[in-house]
Amino acid sequence: MPVKHPILKRILIWRTKHISNKQFVYFLSALVGFTSGVGAVILKNLTHFIQHLLETRLVQYYHQAFYFLFPTIGFILVLLIIKYIIRAKVSHGIPSTLHAIAKRKGIIKSYQMFGSILTAPVTIGFGGSVGLEGPAVATGAAISSNISRLFRMNQKTKTLLIGCAAAGALSSIFKAPIAAIIFAIEVFSLDLTIVSMLPLLLASLSAILTSYFFFGDDILLPFRIEDKFIISDVPFYMFLGVCAAFTSIYFNEVYERVQKLFDKINTPLKKLLFGGAAIGVLVYLIPPLYGEGFDIMNSLIAGNPEKALVNNFLHLDLTNVWAVILLLAGLVFFKVIASALTFGAGGVGGIFAPTLFMGSIMGNCIAKIINNCGLFSTPVSESNFTLVGMTGLLAGILQAPLTAIFLIAELTGGYDLFIPLMITSAISFGITKHFAPHSVYTMELGRKGELITHDKDHAVLTLMDINKVIETNFKPVTTKMTLGEIIEQAVVKSNRNIFPVIDEKYKTLKGIILLDDIRSIMFDQTLYNEVTAIDVMQNPPEIINIEKDKMTTIMKKFHESNAWNLPVVKNGVYIGFISKSKLLTAYRRELINFTT
């Protein structure tokens, strides 16, 4: 885009003369890390302020029934903020960022820089059962995208800086810089090279320094390993991995079904009222579902699950361990529903925190079952299982096993649990991947074939725009045209050797005529009025449907048909052709942009 501001123009000229492109990318990555860190700090502080205000002033001093009203009030406020302040749809969470990379060449609208900051704290502060990590990543990604556009960075650098924003957001929130880097590489499919590693490192470092500046050495999940890993526990950690996999599959199924249910509701107000009432009932009956739930996780890690379950609506005796197990299993079951309802109702948030919440409870629940079933003489560590359970669900639901391993390893301050983390993560990821090829982040893009992956060929094809390779300079003929009319109105006036045959009324594609099909009769004038287009046309080897076929599918059709030109239709109506030569030229051009 042209630079209109004179000061910015002078800065760009000075930068070109005195700073190399590589050095400037390093500078921008540190800047993006800092801004992502600041965004995460603002999100966290606003959310905690709202929660503190509501829970201490209203719930503590008045009545717990306010839990029922909070979610609906929060959704109404979010709707009003979007409608009257932002005045545009807020794209929140990591799926929206992945969509921007895949379909918008990394361009994210400027209002998205503050959209999540205004809406996510209200959603979560008023009881929405989601997390802040997704909005933090979306905020940082929007900032990095607009910085990249300001300084006219190319596609590859723009994507790298969005990855830097993701690393910065996670590094700031969890104080886990290595896990944040791995997260950016796994989820955003960045190439693992020295060229990409140093910017990610700078972004993660600047973000964690920002977090330390504002929060000191405070961390979300303070924990010190007291029970060491012993080799006899390996079968139990394998069992935990299997449980994590099936919990992950359950999460994916419930999440997708609830979203489809909300898709059938035609107005935002109806979605808001239905979702708000449903979450209100859940939060009123099960208060631990309120917000992110890190206080519940810390209670489990500290070995005090009763603290989180003291106000259970069933009034079960918490001295009975099986009652505690039943309540913990119920928390896992209903947290999925609460999170999906929050998104469906129009709330803004992420699924990272709910995943950690469910993983910690699931791990603690499995450990309690093992220790109290009477089948095993040696007890397992409930605190260790609580942490490793988080890894299992992160690996399954997010399908980011390395992120899961390093995040928990960094949070615990050491690598004593590295082996069980690897065992549980690998099993959970492997089983979940078999039944659910795409994570919650990528399921929609993966279903549409628009997902950027580590496969460079697939990534380049995904980034290509099908509309730019369609050629329309082919002369169509109608089904009723005679041979003489075909020659006079199409062959003579065209420099192409293919002629699409279309229905005269509806313009639908009926077939194609090759010049070779009529070459032997085109000079026989006695046939000019006897032979029609239907007599000489043939079916095309393949047809490209512009609404359904992605670039990967189109390439496959060319490969399998050995054709050099294929017709393109939209709703059955002919719109043009795509030639293999033009497609390959566009691919080479996109590959250059992608790799330089």
| Stronger pLDDT, 333 or 291, i.e. the higher one | 333
pLDDT band, very low/low/confident/very high, at 58 (cuts 50, 70, 90): low
136/27 same-domain check: yes
442/466 same-domain check: no
DSSP string, 122-155: HHHHTT-S-BSHHHHHHHHHHHHHHHHHHTT--H
Contacts of 384 (CB under 8 A, 6+ apart): 225, 227, 229, 367, 417, 420
pLDDT at 59: 53
| Stronger pLDDT, 184 or 300, i.e. the higher one | 184
CA distance linking residue 211 with residue 30, whole number of Å? 14
225 in a structural domain: no
pLDDT band, very low/low/confident/very high, at 228 (cuts 50, 70, 90): confident
Q: Which of 146, 566, 127, 116 is nearest to 348 (CA)?
A: 116
38/109 same-domain check: yes
Average pLDDT over all residues of the chain: 82
Angle among Cα 556, 562, 568 to the nearest 5 degrees reads 65
196/252 same-domain check: no
440/466 same-domain check: no
263/196 same-domain check: no
The whole-number average pLDDT for the span 259-264 is 86
Name the residue range of residue 176's domain: 6-215
Number of domains in the chain: 3
pLDDT at 192: 63
CA distance linking residue 178 with residue 175, whole number of Å? 9
Residue 354, SS3 per DSSP: helix
Helix (H) or strand (E) holding 235: helix 234-263
288/204 same-domain check: no
CA distance linking residue 349 with residue 567, whole number of Å? 43
221 in a structural domain: no
372/490 same-domain check: no
pLDDT at 423: 94
CA distance linking residue 48 with residue 279, whole number of Å? 20
Q: Which CATH number fits the domain that encloses residue 58? A: 1.10.3080.10
| Stronger pLDDT, 365 or 442, i.e. the higher one | 365
| Stronger pLDDT, 454 or 9, i.e. the higher one | 9
437/310 same-domain check: yes
125/27 same-domain check: yes
Using the 3D structure, point to which of 434, 454, 474 is the last residue of a domain: 454
Whole-angstrom CA distances from 327 to 33, 44, 318, 333, 554 are 40, 28, 9, 10, 51
pTM of structure:
0.75
373/253 same-domain check: yes
- 8 Å CB contact between 123 and 74: yes
404/281 same-domain check: yes
Q: Identity (one letter) of the amino acid at 138?
A: A
